[in-house]
């Protein structure tokens, strides 16, 4: 307690206590007085207060190469893929080593109380059944913090190590994603970050934890994925139209010659029938030609010809030009039961394509003359955006008056629904998770502003346009108001569109949309996360109708705590909350040049996440402190299943381990 924080302690090297290499310093928020303490880094154990006291922890170190040959990979009817194993040298780490018992019948177990019923490499989940006497508890090693439980069985999220993908990739000798076609995924629970795991890249399937474990999926073998000539390419496929005088046969699933109609009619009625058929065909042909002419006019009007040429030159680009009939079939003729949401730019429907992919189909309400001319070009640019936090654009339909867009379907709704749609008995969203959501959304917008070519201004940033995936991963969506960053001053001027409560005041005055307009709108989203209040509330008293105005007034009068969400106020230190609030205030500056860039916002939020995620920043109960001080060898942590995500009390973070 000679120094209040790590920062001040580091200023005096002669008295700094964390002397071991591979040691780290923690601010001690759980004591009555400001102080700091030391610990060994992840993957190291020992005494951080002694020189060379922290050594590599062989129990928790990860070895991505199987050390033993001819490892058994089956127990009973359960397959045991690497990185799990049954014997020494067959698993990547001791923590993933299981045992197969044959007392009565083959069972797979972590230990005597926890029986494994299945292992899924693709989803990163292990299913566990507990013995009756242990159905409400799970004892597990401290480092991972992965275990979730409910009654006599549960699903367990597991990760390679309690590191971020960026941290793990710095040490290639222990990096788990060894397949060339694998991706690293940061994993979160409702309480925050738990570590990383691996997954085969899109278009590949298999085990990413072994070399050449991810194999290419032959999409052309999927029924009706391509109604033409299908060519499989690594990670995707290319679909070319059927050659001239051929058509796609859905039964044979290939292009076949078009059959000519041969009619043989006996007797004197031939002429009459031929006449009737001729007139009918003429009418049908005329109607079809009229309809085709309209479709072609719309297609050309929206830049379809340019888009087709670009698609031919970019052979690997998986962007589809859908027909109106295909989208009508996918959405059950745009049935109201399939409506996902309605907004100022259009209505979004859930649909299912013939390859069983779930999609979101957006029927736009209107399109400006500028958008009409540039639509095909802008769709091509949007289709090439490849960022994990931007919703993927699969394709579009141009043969209608107002184009329709087809996006990937994100199942868990929007940020607006998450923070405003829950009731008091619903799931709680931790401060760490809120920071994660804000950080990932800022990263997506920063990518659009700085790295997309050309840069893209979103134009309608709001919580309803931030989608939430299964693991609270953010997907920024709805580019209905988006525009390519202008190349000259004249292009800046647009008609004002967006959502009241999020609109940049400078944009409303000048009609000039810039990247700083997105920054202002994002500042309002940060306020929603801090306060759980809506951007506008017409039922509130005058000063509280507009959230940004209410916030700025509260800040000026030093009343920030009054408008914070109770959970945020109780869960996190006021210092960190004030830093996040100050960032929001800077985003809401009236003059755009005084606002930070979205890159700066993302960097700041990343720094706040690092501060918030530290285990010693968690609230600690008296029972946990008592267990820490007494050092009970039987201490363990309870777990619960809340909406499918990990939730645990803080004793796991305090370093309390159960006996093995």
Binding residues: 363
- Residues 624, 571: Cα–Cα separation, whole Å: 17
* Residue 154 bridge partners (DSSP): 128
DSSP state, 237? Answer: E
Residues 6+ apart with CB under 8 A from 68: 87, 88, 89, 90
Stated as kind and residue range, the H or E segment containing 384 is none
* Residue 468 bridge partners (DSSP): 474
Residues 6+ apart with CB under 8 A from 545: 536, 537, 538
Pairing mode of beta strands 320-321, 393-397: parallel
Annotated binding site for ATP: 363
- Residues 37, 6: Cα–Cα separation, whole Å: 8
Tokens, residue 630 = 């007494």
Is the distance from CB of 549 to CB of 543 less than 8 angstroms?
yes
Active-site residue (options: 27, 460, 471, 650): 460
Q: Give φ, ψ of 249 to 5 degrees.
A: -100, 110
- Residues 453, 447: Cα–Cα separation, whole Å: 10
Instruction: Identify the CA nearest to 392 among candidates 406, 380, 378, 402.
Output: 406
Is the distance from CB of 345 to CB of 363 less than 8 angstroms?
no
Is the distance from CB of 448 to CB of 373 less than 8 angstroms?
no
Stated as kind and residue range, the H or E segment containing 118 is strand 114-120
Is the distance from CB of 46 to CB of 55 less than 8 angstroms?
yes
DSSP state, 219? Answer: G
Is the distance from CB of 241 to CB of 233 less than 8 angstroms?
no
Q: How far is CA 493 from CA 71, 369, 488, 506, in A?
A: 67, 14, 10, 12
Stated as kind and residue range, the H or E segment containing 233 is strand 229-233
Tokens, residue 343 = 């907004």
Q: How far is CA 70 from CA 66, 91, 107, 208, in A?
A: 10, 12, 20, 20
Instruction: Identify the CA nearest to 256 among candidates 243, 269, 268, 238.
Output: 243
Q: Give φ, ψ of 238 to 5 degrees.
A: -120, 135
- Does residue 460 carry a catalytic annotation? yes
Tokens, residue 302 = 């929206």
Tokens, residue 139 = 């004892």
- Residues 82, 566: Cα–Cα separation, whole Å: 44
Stated as kind and residue range, the H or E segment containing 142 is none
- Residues 153, 348: Cα–Cα separation, whole Å: 38
The SS3 call for residue 328 is helix
Is the distance from CB of 383 to CB of 317 less than 8 angstroms?
yes
Which residues are catalytically annotated? 460
């Amino acid at each position: 307690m000679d120094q209040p924080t790590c920062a001040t302690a580091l200023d005096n090297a002669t008295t700094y206590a964390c002397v071991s290499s591979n040691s780290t310093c923690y601010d001690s928020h759980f004591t009555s007085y400001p102080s700091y303490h030391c610990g060994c880094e992840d993957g190291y154990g020992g005494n951080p207060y002694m020189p060379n006291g922290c050594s590599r922890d062989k129990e928790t170190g990860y070895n991505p190469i199987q050390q033993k040959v001819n490892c058994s990979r089956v127990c009973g009817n359960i397959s045991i893929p690497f990185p799990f194993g049954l014997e020494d040298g067959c698993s990547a780490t001791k923590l993933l080593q299981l045992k197969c018992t044959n007392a009565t019948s083959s069972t797979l177990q972590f230990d005597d109380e926890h029986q494994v019923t299945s292992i899924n490499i693709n989803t990163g989940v292990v299913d566990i059944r507990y013995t009756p006497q242990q159905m409400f508890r799970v004892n597990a090693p401290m480092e991972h913090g992965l275990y979730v439980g409910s009654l006599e069985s549960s699903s367990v999220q597991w990760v390679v190590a309690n590191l971020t993908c960026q941290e793990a990739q710095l040490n290639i000798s222990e990096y788990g994603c060894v397949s060339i076609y694998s991706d690293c995924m940061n994993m979160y629970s409702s309480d925050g970050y738990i570590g990383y795991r691996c997954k085969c890249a899109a278009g590949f399937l298999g085990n990413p934890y072994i070399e050449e474990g991810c194999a290419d999926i032959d999409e052309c073998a999927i029924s009706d994925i391509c109604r033409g000539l299908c060519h499989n390419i690594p990670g995707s496929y290319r679909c070319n139209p059927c050659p001239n005088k051929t058509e796609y046969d859905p039964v044979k699933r290939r292009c076949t010659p078009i059959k000519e109609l041969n009619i043989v009619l006996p007797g004197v009625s031939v002429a009459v029938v031929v006449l009737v058929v001729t007139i009918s065909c003429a009418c049908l042909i005329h109607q079809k030609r009229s309809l085709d002419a309209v479709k072609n006019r719309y297609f050309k009007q929206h830049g379809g010809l340019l888009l087709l040429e670009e698609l031919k030159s970019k052979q690997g680009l998986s962007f589809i030009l859908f027909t109106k009939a295909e989208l009508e079939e996918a959405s059950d003729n745009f049935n109201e039961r399939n409506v996902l949401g309605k907004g100022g730019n259009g209505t979004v429907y859930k649909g299912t394509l013939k390859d069983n992919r779930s999609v979101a189909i957006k029927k736009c309400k209107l399109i400006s003359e500028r958008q009409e001319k540039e639509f095909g070009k802008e769709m091509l640019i949007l289709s090439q955006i490849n960022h994990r936090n931007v919703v993927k654009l699969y394709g579009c339909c141009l043969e209608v008056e107002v184009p329709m867009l087809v996006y990937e379907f994100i199942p868990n709704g929007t940020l607006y629904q998450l923070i405003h749609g829950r009731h008091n008995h619903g799931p709680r969203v931790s401060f760490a998770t809120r920071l994660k959501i804000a950080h990932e959304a800022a990263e997506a917008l920063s990518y659009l502003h700085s790295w997309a070519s050309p840069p893209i201004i979103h134009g309608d940033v709001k919580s309803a346009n931030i989608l939430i995936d299964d693991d609270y991963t953010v997907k920024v969506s709805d580019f209905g108001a988006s525009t390519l960053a202008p190349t000259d001053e004249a292009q800046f001027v647009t008609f004002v569109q967006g959502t009241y409560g999020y609109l940049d005041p400078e944009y409303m005055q000048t009609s000039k949309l810039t990247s700083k307009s997105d920054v202002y709108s994002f500042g309002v989203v940060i306020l929603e996360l801090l306060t759980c209040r809506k951007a506008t509330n017409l039922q509130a008293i005058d000063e509280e109708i507009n959230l940004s105005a209410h916030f700025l007034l509260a800040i000026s009068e030093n009343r920030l705590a009054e408008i914070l969400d109770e959970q945020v106020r109780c869960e996190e230190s006021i210092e960190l909350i004030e830093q996040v609030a100050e960032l929001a205030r800077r985003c809401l500056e009236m003059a755009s040049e005084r606002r930070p860039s979205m890159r700066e916002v993302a960097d700041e939020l990343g720094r706040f996440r690092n501060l918030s995620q530290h285990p010693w920043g968690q609230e600690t109960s008296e029972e946990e402190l008592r267990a820490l001080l007494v050092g009970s060898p039987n201490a363990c942590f309870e777990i619960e299943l809340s909406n499918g995500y990990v939730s645990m009390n803080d004793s796991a973070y305090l370093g309390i381990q159960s006996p093995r």
